[in-house]
Amino acid sequence: MNRKNINSIFKIGIWSAVTICFGILFFLITVLVVKGIQAISFDFLFTSSKNFGAEGGIMYQIIGSIILVITVIVLSAPVSIGVAIYKSEYIKSSFVQNMTDTLIYTLNGIPSIIYGIFGLIFFVNILNTGISWFVGAIILAIMILPTIILSTYQSINSIPNAFRENANALGLNKWQVITSVLLPRALNGAFTGSLIGLARAIGETAPIMFIATAFSGVTIPERIQEPISTLPTHILALAQQATNPQALQNAWGASLVLITLVFLLSISALVRRIQFSKLNY
């Protein structure tokens, strides 16, 4: 078999894989839209749930998810940017660099349920925090740290060394180089990584199911020691009532709202990445 035939077979395999992936994605989105759009209405989006979600809307679940993701980004972004800058500018040993890479990728690969178990044991059982939405935000912030760190670190490393050398030639010290040259570029990468991380965090159920959320009877929390209601846990509660047609219909509607939020965050990250690439160019 000659090289031309091998290349043709390889291209066919690649395009087949792409077609299958997009076909599955299109099928899932189509099912969500067709089934979920029937439940979407003004009352559904702006009223509270009743009867364990089988009746009413998802207003407090939407608010709860938004509160969580805002808190998550406030907690995770400063730490991620600091780690990325320290890793890029202060760690000179290749061994230490490899060790930090291993730790970051390991943290990124830990299953989400493990984060939930850690939060349950450490915060709820040992620290006796109780069911708290703030604890859930801490766990989700830890979970998306690697995504933001890597995105910020890559942005910093994309800056040519000539920028650092010119800044040093002008008499800027290390801190001034970081704040005036590196940090503005790092913020672009951190913003993109944050959106990608939040797209993952907003759809998580396992890390917060036992430590931060309640399945019913929860409104807007007034203290950090109170539970919260989110879209993923609400969908889980509704799915357990599959014999109830109205509950199942509401589950499809809540799923459509959730996937829309994830889609908006992902598209925002993609647009920001394209803008950032043009800026670099």
Residues present in the chain in total: 281
Q: Look at 79-93, 187-201, 222-236 and tell me which has the smallest mean pLDDT.
A: 187-201
Residue 7 covered by a domain: no
Contacts of 230 (CB under 8 A, 6+ apart): 61, 64, 65, 68, 208, 213
**pLDDT of res. 72:** 93
Please check the confidence at residue 39 and state whether its pLDDT lies above 60: yes
**Contact predicate 247/238, CB 8 Å:** yes
Average pLDDT over residues 212-229: 85
Which helix (H) or strand (E) segment holds residue 193: the answer is helix 183-201
- How many domains does the chain contain in total? 1
**CA atoms lying within 13 Å on the CB side of residue 38:** 13
Instruction: From residue 86, give the alpha-carbon distance in Å to each of 40, 101, 153, 199.
Output: 47, 13, 9, 26
Please check the confidence at residue 188 and state whether its pLDDT lies above 80: no
Q: What is the pTM of this model?
A: 0.86
* 3-class SS string, 110-143: CCHHHHHHHHHHHHHHHCCCCCCHHHHHHHHHHH
**pLDDT of res. 276:** 65
Provide the pLDDT confidence category of residue 74 given band limits of 50, 70 and 90.
very high
**pLDDT of res. 207:** 86
Residue 131 covered by a domain: yes
**pLDDT of res. 278:** 61
Residue 162 covered by a domain: yes
Residues 93-137: tens digit of each pLDDT: 888 888 998 999 898 888 888 999 999 999 988 988 888 999 999
Percent of the chain residues topping a pLDDT of 70: 96
**pLDDT of res. 281:** 47
Residue 32 covered by a domain: no
Please check the confidence at residue 20 and state whether its pLDDT lies above 90: yes
Provide the pLDDT confidence category of residue 194 given band limits of 50, 70 and 90.
confident
Residue 245 covered by a domain: yes
Average pLDDT over residues 219-229: 87
Percent of the chain residues topping a pLDDT of 90: 21
Which is nearest to 257 in space by CA: 55, 60, 50, 37? 37
Residues 132-142: tens digit of each pLDDT: 999 999 999 99
Please check the confidence at residue 172 and state whether its pLDDT lies above 90: no
Residue 14 covered by a domain: no
Residue 270 belongs to domain with CATH number = 1.10.3720.10
Neighbours of 90 (CB within 10 A): 10
Contacts of 231 (CB under 8 A, 6+ apart): 58, 61, 62, 64, 65, 202, 254, 257, 258, 261
What residue numbers bound the domain in which 144 lies?
Answer: 37-280
Provide the pLDDT confidence category of residue 71 given band limits of 50, 70 and 90.
very high
For 13, the 3-state DSSP assignment is helix
Average pLDDT over residues 45-49: 88
**Residue 49, strand partner residues:** 56
Residues 243-274: tens digit of each pLDDT: 788 888 888 999 999 999 888 888 887 777 67
Average pLDDT over residues 232-241: 86
**Contact predicate 69/201, CB 8 Å:** yes
Residue 202 covered by a domain: yes
**pLDDT of res. 10:** 85
Tell the residue number behind the tokens 């036992």, with chain if given.
Answer: 210
Q: Estimate the share of the chain in helix, then strand, then coil, as percent rounded to the nearest 5.
A: 75, 0, 25
Residue 69 covered by a domain: yes
